[in-house]
Chains A and B, each alone.
Chain A
Amino acid sequence: MKRKTFKFLTVAAFITTGALVSCVADHNSPGLEYMPDMYRSPAVEAYVDYGEVDGVYDEEAQKMVEEKFSYIPPVGTVPYQGEDGFLAPYNHGGPIGVDKTHGLFEVAQDTAGRDGAKNDVNPIAWSEDVVKEGKVLFERFCIHCHGEKGDGQGSVITNSNGKYPTPGPYKAELTSGEIFYTITYGKNAMGSHASQVNPVERWKLVHYVEKLIGKEQGPAAAEAGAEEGMEEGAAEGKEGMQGVDGDNQGVEEAHEDGADH
């Protein structure tokens, strides 16, 4: 009896240890899945290996996921961004050839290109807070190339040993519409950042970039744009963006005000 127990324990211990050790020997394997249940949720989730289920490789499942996974939404899809983030669809297509130069294959092209967007007005009203949010976004998405002051001397430029071109300082004549257009579709070496910053964030970035350029922004400009504030601009984004005349005057007034101070 005693000997039998010994024997059993020895064999059991050997098998357990052996099995466990062999589980972690492959450094590419994450290890044993202990009683897997919901690792592969029936509702397809991103970043889950659906191919292997309970040790059986399911090619169908893998194929299904691979084909439906990580793709651009169909043309015309309107993103839902929550109640405070809705803007009307952007109605300027990319420049001609943007599919070849920037890989934007499913994007409409527009002969007017950048010029068509020149007179767009920022639908998000200026405020200290919006500029602050723009700054946070700028430090996340732009600063490493365009530099802290927007002079084109970011860390990527200065530390890449001449491998990456300098974007140059922001040009003073850039309008808000052009800045937005450039972020959306890219320009020359700069790629499209539409997949990284949504339209609301882009317009906030425009506010901060304009601050870096040195454009006069302030309460007066905010007042002029207040009619097309966030919420209203949300409902009537299109009008907001094309309400060119009145808003331009507002900007000019702001310029004069700034000069007075």
Chain B
Amino acid sequence: MKIKTLFISNKIKHLALLAVAVFFFTHNVHAVQDDSAAESADAPALDEELGKKLFNNNCAACHFPDRDMTGPALQGARERWIDNSTEENFYKWVKNSNAVISAGDSYANQLYKDWNGVAMPAQNVSDSDIDNIFYYVDNYETPPPPTGTVAATGPVVVEESSSLYWWLLAGLMLVVIFVVGGVRGNLSALKRDQDGIPQPEQLTIGQSGRKWAWENRGWFGVTVFIVVILLLAGGMVKLLDIGVYENYKPEQPIAYSHELHAGELGIDCKYCHNAVTKSKHATIPSVNVCMNCHKTVAEGRSEEGTAEIAKIYEAAGWDPAIKQYTGDTDPIKWVKVHNLPDHVYFNHSQHVVAGGVDCKQCHGNMKKETVARIMSTEDLNNVGVTDDDYDQNSVKFTKPTLTMGWCIECHRESSVDLAGAETGSYYNVIHERLLRDKTTYQRYLEDDVVTVAELGGLECGKCHY
């Protein structure tokens, strides 16, 4: 039923459009007109493809067919002009909006005012071009949201810990055991009293415990021994985990999805983390970088996504209703994820620019991730193996991510491109020095590569100072 009405309304739309076109055609023929009239007389047939091309080339930077952007939605624009002004002015407006405004047309002035006084630049199009554009625009249908699975863009849902209930239950059981035990003790004391047997001497809990342990000392000793060994081993493993942050993925104030932005939309890592080539930090992008796109994109893939984008607007002080910045900003407090051990200096630009290291070597395949996570060694080694987004990493790791062993592994294995180094650069100097430095030269001859380690990449002072 609904679909039917849609079809019918579409048909009516087409008919109306055709009628308008015919009206316009006759109108033009009768009017004393320039060559654009001749053009439209030659080509009255409307071409949706051509219209699309013209729309994309001339209008799409500021107008959507179906919703407002820098300028208003174009669907129904012709009708609005006919209702509020004349169709003649509509064509004039597209070609040179300033002329219509200064001619004093009230609708034109109203439009100019409503859209914050941003004038539409004059467009170099003919009347038939405009007809084609609006034929495309009026037939444009908003594409349906993509079907299929949409990765969760919403906030990371934290599973409620169930251990609390178990503790409560255990506590309850303990109480029951003590109560039953107490009642039983009282009852047997009463019975002994009745039977005339003398009461055994009262022992404290500690004393009775020790007595029990002494009486069962064989089993007790073995059990305690095993438990202690297990706890020590477990404790040791846990101690080794101190400072290992693998899979650390804290909640972020905005549930950003790398999967969508870097994966689906193909935005380069360095577009947002742009200081990576210039600074010690790769930097979390400031909110103006988000707004480069999100000024226009207010809707996410899901309702949660739209809510997340609204948080950007709040931070940037952008009012989507009036499409203006208000200046009322509120910084986003992102949570730092990649914490290095204490007393370590690490510089991103040095690794990315001079070393030419890919982001994925240390950060893995972020095209499959939501918010940032410290990849495990396995994840890093699987880049390019379990996915085809990237080539394989040149260095495979065995040590946990972001530990010193991990850094050292890479420094030992990765080679330096000395031959390709620019004249006067650090590596170029090293290249020349190679001829005089016999030890390094000998090592180079052995395997044909100069590794970071051979250039002093294992010196303590390289990273700790």
Contacts and interface: CB of A to CB of B under 8 A. Distances in A.
A155 interface: yes
Given A39-B342, A168-B58, A24 B69 contact: no
Contacts of B250: 27-30
B340 to A, nearest CB: 9
B266 interface: yes
Contacts of A10: 224, 227-228, 231
B231 A14 contact: yes
A175 B224 CA distance: 83
A253 B58 CA distance: 31
Contacts of A28: 250-251, 335
B245 A31 contact: yes
Interface string A6-31: 10011001101100110010011111
B195 interface: no
B232 A144 contact: no
A97 B117 CA distance: 9
Nearest to B339: A30
Given A105-B327, A192-B288, A32 B242 contact: yes
B231 A13 contact: yes
A24 B244 CA distance: 11
A189 B238 CA distance: 52
Contact of A195 (B284, B289, B327, B335): B289
Interface stretch (A156-164, A230-238, A244-252): A156-164
Nearest to B334: A47
B289 A196 contact: yes
Interface string A95-120: 00101111101000000000000000
Nearest to B251: A28
Contacts of A260: none
A222 B283 CA distance: 36
A160 B265 contact: yes
Contacts of B405: none
A39 B343 CA distance: 7
A99 B327 contact: yes
B336 A159 contact: no
Nearest to B245: A30
A186 B143 CA distance: 28
Interface stretch (B104-112, B294-302, B446-454): B294-302
A33 B316 CA distance: 34
Contacts of A70: 286, 331
Contacts of A99: 325, 327
Contact of B271 (A141, A159, A161): A141
A1 interface: no
B211 interface: no
Given A70-B286, A168-B60, A156 B293 contact: yes
Nearest to A39: B342
Which of A14, A100, A102 counts the most chain B CB atoms within 10 A? A100
11 contacts: A6-B221, A10-B227, A10-B228, A28-B250, A38-B342, A70-B286, A144-B265, A165-B62, A191-B288, A191-B293, A192-B288
Interface of B: 56-58, 60-64, 69-70, 116-118, 142-143, 145-146, 158, 213, 221, 224-225, 227-228, 231-232, 234-235, 238-239, 241-243, 245, 248-251, 264-268, 270-271, 274, 281, 283-284, 286, 288-289, 291-293, 295-297, 299, 316-318, 324-325, 327, 331, 335-336, 339, 342-343
Per CB-CB distance, the 6 closest pairs between chain A and chain B, nearest first, are A155-B266, A13-B231, A191-B292, A20-B238, A103-B325, A28-B250
Given A156-B266, A160-B265, 19 more contacts: A13-B231, A20-B241, A20-B242, A31-B243, A36-B342, A37-B342, A97-B116, A141-B274, A143-B268, A144-B266, A144-B268, A155-B266, A155-B267, A161-B146, A162-B142, A163-B299, A168-B57, A189-B295, A193-B292
